[in-house]
C-alpha cells in the first residue's frame, strides 16, 4: 500500500522534476481502481454534469450532487489527493457564500483541495479562502464554466495579449495563496511562461507536456466518449467492450443461459414442499361439495 499523496508529495515531485498523474473521476469504484493504478490526484470534476448526468454543459452541475460525488471519490481512494470542483455560481456572488460552500466540500465532501475557475479579479476570494484554511487550485486558461460567453469552449492564449492575461491570472492567484495551478487548452508558449513564474505545482490539460502534472477526464482516457477533445488520446476502448457485454447479456437472457450458480433449498426442505402439496390435494379431493 502506497503512502498517502498530499500537497507535500506534489511539491516534492515538482522539485525533483517527477511528473504526477491526475484524472477526473466521479464514483468510488472507479476511484478505487485508479488509486490501485498509482494515479496521484483525482478531481471530482463538474464535467460529471456531462458524462454522468447527461447535460451538455458543466454549469448544470448540481451542488448537492457535487458534494456527494466528491465524498464518494475520497472514500474509494482514501490515499489519493482528491480535488473538488466548485460548481458554477457557488463562489461568485459573495466571499461569504464562497467560504460556506467551500467549507461544505472540505467537511461533507472530504476534499483535500478545492478547485476554482478564476482570473486575477477573483484573487480576493482565493486570499480569503486560503486564510480560512481552504487549499485552492486555481484553474486558468480555458474555463469551461464561462463558455456561454464565448459560445463554447475556446482555447486561451492564442494571441500575445491573451497569453499575457493568462500569465497575469496565474501570478495573481498564486500570490493570493493558491497551492496549485491548473491550466487548460493553451499553446505551449503560454505554458512555458506560466511555468517560469509558478512556485506551486502546475497541472495541465491540453497545455503541452511542460507542466508538473497532467489531467484528463477518465471517460476520455478509457474510450467511453464519442467525441473526445483534441488533446485527449484514449489508452483503452472500454466503450465498445461495454456494448459487447450488453449484447452478450441480451443473447443470454433470450437463450435462457444466464450463467452463474443457482440457490437451493436446505436439505429435506424440498421434500416437505412435495408432501404438503400431496396433503393439500387429498383434502381437496375428499372435501364435500356445497
- The pLDDT confidence band at residue 38, using thresholds 50, 70 and 90, is very high
pLDDT of residue 105: 98
Architecture category of domain 7-221 in CATH: Alpha-Beta Barrel (3.20)
Active site residues: 184
Lookup: cell for 135: 487549499
The answer to whether the beta carbons of residues 214 and 232 sit under 8 Å apart is no
Tell me what the pLDDT averaged over the chain comes to.
Answer: 94
Exposed e or buried b for every residue in 208-242, given b needs 16+ CB within 10 A? beebbbbbbbbbbbbbbbeebeebeebeeeeeeee
pLDDT of residue 175: 98
Rounded to an integer, the average pLDDT of 49-54 is 96
Q: Render pLDDT for 181-208 as a digit per residue (tens, 0 to 9).
A: 999 999 999 999 999 999 999 999 999 9
Q: Render pLDDT for 248-278 as a digit per residue (tens, 0 to 9).
A: 999 999 999 999 999 999 998 888 887 655 5
pLDDT of residue 233: 93
DSSP output for 231-280: T---S--HHHHHHHHHHHHHHHHHHT---S----PPTTHHHHHHHHHHHH
Q: Where are the domains of the chain?
A: 7-221
Amino acid at each position: 500500500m502506497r503512502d498517502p499523496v498530499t500537497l507535500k508529495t506534489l511539491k516534492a515531485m515538482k522539485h525533483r522534476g517527477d511528473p504526477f498523474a491526475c484524472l477526473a473521476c466521479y464514483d468510488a469504484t472507479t476511484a478505487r481502481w485508479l488509486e490501485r493504478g498509482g494515479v496521484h490526484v483525482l478531481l471530482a470534476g463538474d464535467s460529471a454534469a456531462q458524462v454522468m448526468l447527461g447535460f451538455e454543459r458543466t454549469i448544470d452541475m448540481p451542488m448537492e450532487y457535487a458534494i456527494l460525488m466528491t465524498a464518494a471519490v475520497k472514500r474509494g481512494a482514501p490515499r489519493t489527493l482528491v480535488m473538488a470542483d466548485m460548481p458554477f455560481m457557488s463562489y461568485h456572488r459573495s466571499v461569504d457564500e464562497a467560504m460556506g460552500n467551500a467549507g461544505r466540500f472540505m467537511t461533507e465532501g472530504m476534499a483535500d483541495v478545492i478547485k476554482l475557475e478564476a482570473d486575477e479579479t477573483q484573487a480576493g476570494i482565493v486570499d480569503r479562502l486560503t486564510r480560512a484554511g481552504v487549499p485552492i487550485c486555481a484553474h486558468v486558461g480555458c474555463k469551461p464554466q464561462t463558455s456561454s460567453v464565448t459560445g463554447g469552449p475556446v482555447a486561451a492564449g492564442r494571441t500575445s495579449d491573451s497569453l499575457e492575461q493568462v500569465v497575469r491570472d496565474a501570478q495573481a492567484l498564486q500570490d493570493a495563496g493558491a497551492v496549485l495551478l491548473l491550466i487548460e487548452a493553451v499553446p505551449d508558449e503560454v505554458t512555458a511562461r506560466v511555468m517560469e513564474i509558478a512556485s506551486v505545482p502546475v497541472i495541465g490539460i491540453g497545455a503541452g507536456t511542460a507542466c508538473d502534472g497532467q489531467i484528463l477526464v477518465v471517460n476520455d482516457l478509457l474510450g467511453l466518449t464519442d467525441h473526445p477533445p483534441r488533446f485527449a488520446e484514449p489508452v483503452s476502448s472500454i466503450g465498445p467492450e461495454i456494448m459487447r457485454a450488453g449484447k452478450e447479456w441480451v443473447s443470454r437472457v433470450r437463450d435462457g443461459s444466464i450463467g452463474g450458480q443457482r440457490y437451493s433449498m436446505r436439505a429435506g426442505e424440498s421434500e416437505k414442499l412435495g408432501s404438503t402439496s400431496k396433503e393439500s390435494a387429498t383434502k381437496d379431493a375428499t372435501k364435500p361439495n356445497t
